[in-house]
Structure 1
């Protein structure tokens, strides 16, 4: 009997702001801008791309392209998406993480 598989979609598991923040924290640890753009796209799909695009002042299609793995979102787009999601970036010293 063949094993039946189903596509995995991270967006299905991002139901609360806490889940979204934990997902973004994990992505930011990799320091990969393409992964960050993709992760924001996943989050935007989970929360409603159309509304986020309106909040940011972009078309839905433009935001999909910008938040893809090949996209390169500008800082204003990144900050607008985070604001629309009710999130903000915070910064802390790397050394604090190592000593914890």
Structure 2
């Protein structure tokens, strides 16, 4: 009887670990915009917000932390103006 090798343990990928400065965040968000995929953009915005800090980004965008949380929730459909407010600090376009 042969023994099978143990399966490697996979770790969840967290983009926030790599978004450690504004330039990295801007590049990530620009890539998400270029992909022309609303779900990917929403995911990228959530990663950027978590990397920068929910309270700080909410304050900078003129949103409440609760409103920002709802905006980034799976299935949410944030308006264009809200997305622009969230992207503005990183100059993504």
TM-score normalised according to structure 1 size: 0.73
- Structure of higher RCO (CA pairs closer than 8 Å, 6+ residues apart): 2
- Structure 1 runs (4+) deviating above 6 angstroms are none
- Using the alignment, how far apart are the partners of 2:21 and 2:60 within structure 1? 19
- Using the alignment, how far apart are the partners of 2:74 and 2:35 within structure 1? 14
Secondary structure at the counterpart of residue 45 of structure 1: helix
Spell out, residue by residue over 1:42-80, the C-alpha distance to the aligned partner (whole angstroms, 9 max, x if none): 100010011111222222232122123422222222222
Secondary structure at the counterpart of residue 68 of structure 1: coil
Q: Which residue does 1:26 correspond to in 2?
A: 31
The answer for unaligned runs of 5 or more in structure 1 is: 91-100
* 1:12 correspondence with 2:13: no
The answer for unaligned runs of 5 or more in structure 2 is: 1-5
Say what the alpha-carbon RMSD is for the aligned residues.
1.8
| Cα distance change on mapping 1:68 and 1:38 into 2, 3 Å | farther
Q: What is the aligned length?
A: 88
Greater gyration radius: 2
